[in-house]
Amino acid sequence: MRAGRITVSTRQFEVVDVPTPDAGAGQVRIKVAAAGVCLSDVHFLEGILSPGYLEGDQVTLGHEVAGVIDQVGAGVTECAVGDRVVVIAGERNAAHQITTMGFDYDGGWAIVTGKQGKEQQDAGSKDGQGDHLLAKAGSGLCRFWFGHGKGCV
């Protein structure tokens, strides 16, 4: 898939090819329907903000994300394929530090490209293709049905 990534050391932003993720144990994969651009993204690109816990020097931006679960990993019971969700942009790492999606781990600025190539990118999501990101099931997903909140999982 193609992803909007920043190299933190140089603040270089580019759209590059990255592997489409698969949901691991305890995770869900989300087909993104909307990803916002926040002022903090601009501050990140300008060098005013920096990630606190990023492993490596590159990350896919995007921490304001909503979409539909399209894949669930092993052990996930509280979410199902087809659930509409809003992703809460923070989670605790193994050291119990709060990390932020799109800063400390990959966010939602990405698009899957298939046989349609450039037409796919120009048209956005179609034919089941779209943006994808991973999120931990049960920690920061809010489910929505028919446009009304139904609680967090």
* pLDDT score, position 136: 61
**Domain coordinates in residue numbering, the chain:** 2-152
* pLDDT score, position 153: 42
Distance CA 46, CA 39 (A): 10
Distance CA 1, CA 35 (A): 16
pLDDT in tens, the chain (153 residues): 888 999 999 999 999 988 888 888 888 888 888 888 899 999 999 999 999 999 999 999 998 888 888 888 898 888 889 988 888 888 888 899 999 989 998 888 877 544 332 332 333 333 334 456 666 665 555 554 434 344 444
Class of domain 2-152: alpha beta
